[in-house]
Amino acid sequence: MQIIEFVLQVLLGITSLLLTLLILLHKGRGGGLSDMFGGGMTSALGSSGLAERNLNRFTVILALVWFAAIVALGLITKFQAI
C-alpha cells in the first residue's frame, strides 16, 4: 500500500506543477496577471483557436487526474487509520 501512496504523491506533485504551468499559458481575458507577464499584447502565436481549445482540453484532463489523485490519497489515508 505504501508503493501506491508514493506513486500517487509523485503523480500529485507532477500534475500540480503542470496544471499551474498550463493555467498560466492560457490567453488572458484582459487585466490581471496575464497582462503583467505580457499577455495583454496580441501575437500570432497566441491567437490560434485550435491551440487554445487543445490547451483547454489538456488542462481539464490534467485537472481530473489531479482531482482523482487527491481523492485516492484521501481514501488511502482514511482507511489506513482504521
How far from the centroid of its chain's Cα atoms is residue 74's Cα?
A: 19
Q: How far does the chain reach from its first CA to its final CA, in angstroms?
A: 14
Domain boundaries, the chain: 1-25+49-81
Cα–Cα distance for residue pair 63/22, rounded to 1 Å:
10
Give pLDDT tens digits along the chain (82 positions).
799 999 999 999 999 999 999 999 987 766 555 566 665 555 555 456 888 889 999 999 999 999 999 999 999 999 987 6
SS (H, E, C) 18-44: HHHHHHHHCCCCCCCHHHHCCCCCCCC
Which whole-number Å values give the CA distances from 24 to 30, 48, 78, in the listed order? 14, 16, 33
- How many CB atoms sit inside 10 A of residue 39's CB? 20
**pTM of the shown model:** 0.74
Tell me if 4 sits within 8 A of 73, measured CB to CB. Answer: no
